[in-house]
Amino acid sequence: MSNNKISITVKFFAMLREHGPAKETISIPENSTIKLLFKKYQIPWDALKTIIIINGRPHNNLETILNDGDIVSIFPQIAGG
């Protein structure tokens, strides 16, 4: 992994706000993945029933590489009936 850093914005919604602020801009190593965010914010792996939106597009792969300027929104899965 490179020593270069990128800046991304992370947004947490609904009950996931217990893991992080509503919105925060952070610096992370270049070539980091979504999985890093789950580790950084201590989101339990059983909470992976989440909806992850990057720059307005859904992503479901924790190995997706984040890019400088990305906006990552993390929502709890919506329960339906």
Domain boundaries, the chain: 5-76
Q: Are 59 and 34 in contact (CB under 8 A)?
A: yes
Residue 1: per-residue pLDDT: 46
- Phi first, then psi, for residue 31 (nearest 5°) are 70, 20
Domain 5-76: give its CATH architecture: Roll (3.10)
Residue 60: per-residue pLDDT: 84
Residue 61: per-residue pLDDT: 86
Residue 43: per-residue pLDDT: 84
From the first residue on, what is the mean pLDDT of each consecutive set of 10 residues in the chain (81 residues)? 85 89 96 94 75 93 95 82 51
Other C-beta atoms within 10 Å of 48: how many?
Answer: 12
Residue 73: per-residue pLDDT: 95
Residue 44: per-residue pLDDT: 73
Residue 19: per-residue pLDDT: 87
DSSP-derived secondary structure for 26-58:
EEEETT-BHHHHHHHTT--GGG--EEEEETTEE
